[in-house]
Chain A
Amino acid sequence: MKTLKIQKPPDDAIRDVLTRLFDANSIGGVFALTKKRENTYAYSLITKKELLTTIVPTFPIMPMNAGKMISRLTMVEPPSVPIAVLLRPCELRALYELVKLEQASLDNLLFISFTCGGVLSLKLSTDILAEKTEEYWEKAPSGEPVAGLRESCTMCTAFVPDNADIVVTLIGKDVRQETNFIMNTEKGEKYLEGMNSQYSEQSIESNEIEAVRRKRQAQRESVFAKLKTEELGWNGLINVFGRCINCHACGNACPICYCTLCYVESAEKDTFPLAWERQLRREGSLRIPDDTVMYHLVRMLHMGVMCVGCGMCSDVCPTDIPVASIFTKVGQRMQSIVEYVPGKDLEEAMPLAIVDPEDFEEAESETE
């Protein structure tokens, strides 16, 4: 694929490219991670070329899933001017699912993504962020384990952004010296033509990427095996989710959970005193709120098949429940049953939208 090479570190090279796109009036805005102040990062929509100095698109932090943010930006009406959007592969996949759910639009957006080494956990103290980032850039491009990386990232095998218009390579050798912009779509090519730079040919896949993928796959199997979800049963679920405080932060941070008001928070789910009293007579004792485990099961049922494994849920959990790993594992199982890959193809209908009872016969008989 046609590739633009710039002899600069990724963030600088990206700023150069975006500056030229602004100058050529090809874009009217940039959506990217920005540095707000020392150790503080947030996504921003930038319209002024001069503020490109604040963007740090490859800084390994994900304060919110950008797919969810682009849904915010485009759910009513897409922008009338093109916006360059810089986001990670799982964020782009989440956005694709949101488009299928009619919560977002891709119109007038240019997607620049990375072969992704993962992000650091939001739970890391911001004081050690700078130090950790050093370590990250030493190790992540070759898939070496980085302490403090999100568990979801350590086992992510979908770190190549198949659907991005432009792919910046962050996995491989010398990714901090030279930046490759691989034009993955015609649209990407169109935006990057006439940059007065050298172009070459390069494929996204490489031996390094394959090596990282193998490491991640091995890690995935080891994390999944440790979870032992198959053996959980009710008591196991109560043990895993027992310390859940019902704050629903996981659902609120989840890019797929798009409902304005979750069913379990709705008035429909209220229990009347008479029902409590009946339950109390029957059971002798009741945990209140009574729907701790049920909330997670309901959420899993609703979004598991679309789970992109971004890990936001675990990062925001105040009681450190490994919710992302559980959802990723169960999600993978659900996805394999219906042969669905979330975030891959806009034309691929969501399984729950085209459900056929016969689809599940195989899985059902297996459980018996």
Chain B
Amino acid sequence: MNSMKGTLLTVEAQNISSTIKKFINSLLERNVFDAVLAPVRIPSGESFAYLLMRDKAVLEQCEPAPPIMPIQGARVLKQLTRRGELNVKVLSIMRPCEIRASIELAKLQQVHLKNITFLSFDCPGAFSTSDYINEPDMYDVSFQKALKAFTAKDFRACCTTCVNFSSGNTPTDLHIAHLGVPDDKLMVIPTSSRGEACLQAAQLSLTEDISNWQEQCKVWQQRRQENREKDFLELRQRAAGIVNLDAYFSDCINCHNCMRVCPICYCRQCFFDSRDTVRIEADNYLIRARKKGGITFPTDTILFHLGRMSHMSLSCVGCGACEDACPMDVPVGQVFNFIGDKIQKMFEYVPGRDVEESIPVLTYSEDELHEFEDARDVS
């Protein structure tokens, strides 16, 4: 789509969210969709939950771009479509990393994308859920500013190094641009033919040039890339090698909550929680303990993280949900993001970019990756 154009919406009273909602409502009224899946503020006010809505009154309460990501949207789509395709047309409003994770889950046959249209936005990042819960009002204000300024204190560490914050590398259908657009405007850009059809149905004409937006996206990608390289360098020093890795995860209590909130870890029962792993005779533990004089309980903390890493890091979208839900504040998302980046580059794979692109572990051939294999000294 070389001749991409957008359409401008005017933000009234600095209320970005109500402008987006008005646009969504116009699509629903024209029956472009049967229902909308989007975050809604919970009744007690301090967090958000995904709702599938056709009720206009409820839709009024939705928050298309909430300051936090308490539940990764791909997990929500999985719950909705794991058992098959939807027959109703749903507009799904999510952050880019949630859409990319949904695409990975579709490849893993845990999500069915038929009848789902994705709407996303230029995502500056998300705050830590537990921080937000304590001071929602303060974070609401700083998030509204961050939508335009694209930076804020206290964003999740993974967000500050995210380069896929817009529609590049994310198969959205409709995209809301904040970057490079005047403060009192939003630009809706159709990023697929399905998205174009939506805007046609809404009788919105595509006349606006998008080069400013593209330019600003590049600028921010560059900044984020610099952050990324800086952080990765520090991570390498901090976590490389088994001794450092052990120290890195030293606060881990082996609760496996990182895995449970990970959108990619879709197994109902992780191998590390299965009977095969857990059911071991006491004497067997004693034999293991005697080798070193002692073993920690639960056992295999590092093995769990390495096992999980080898299973999902190719598909890791770097959303940081794992880190957000870690009760011990282990910076687990950052190290997974770092390893994910390396391994994905090795396979020239961008998770979530394209549903047609196969996950490398499903298409591997024995005769490949010589540059890595041969570089190792096999003795």
List residues of chain A with CB under 8 Å of any chain B CB.
Answer: 28-29, 31, 34, 36-37, 40, 42-48, 50-51, 54, 63-64, 69, 72-81, 83, 122-123, 126, 235, 238-239, 242-243, 245-249, 252-253, 260-261, 265-267, 270-274, 276-277, 280, 284-290, 292, 315-320
Contact = CB atoms under 8 A, between A and B. Distances in A.
B82 A270 contact: yes
Contacts of B82: 270
Q: Which 8 A-B pairs have the closest CB atoms?
A: A48-B293, A284-B55, A79-B282, A243-B47, A242-B42, A46-B294, A285-B53, A316-B327
A29 B286 CA distance: 8
A266 B268 CA distance: 7
A29 B256 CA distance: 27
A44 B295 contact: yes
Given A29-B289, A243-B46, A123 B327 contact: yes
B132 to A, nearest CB: 10
A288 B37 contact: yes
A77 B287 CA distance: 14
B70 interface: yes
B282 A242 contact: no
Given A40-B250, A239-B44, A280-B88, A317 B327 contact: yes
Contacts of B42: 238, 242-243
Given A63-B253, A239-B44, A284-B55, A77 B133 contact: no
Interface in B34-90: 35, 37, 42-44, 46-47, 49-55, 58-59, 70-71, 75-76, 79-88
B21 interface: no
B298 interface: yes
B130 A73 contact: no
A266 B256 CA distance: 17
A86 to B, nearest CB: 12
B285 interface: yes
Interface string B324-362: 111110000000000000000000000000000000000
Contacts, number: 205
A239 B79 CA distance: 23
A252 B278 contact: no
16 contacts: A29-B286, A48-B290, A79-B282, A79-B285, A245-B129, A245-B261, A246-B71, A248-B260, A252-B257, A270-B82, A287-B51, A288-B79, A288-B80, A289-B75, A289-B76, A316-B253
B147 to A, nearest CB: 23
A84 to B, nearest CB: 13
Contact of B54 (A69, A243, A285, A292): A285
B80 A272 contact: no
Contacts of A289: 71, 75-76, 79
B226 interface: no
Given A64-B253, A246-B71, A271 B83 contact: yes
Contacts of A274: 87
A120 to B, nearest CB: 13
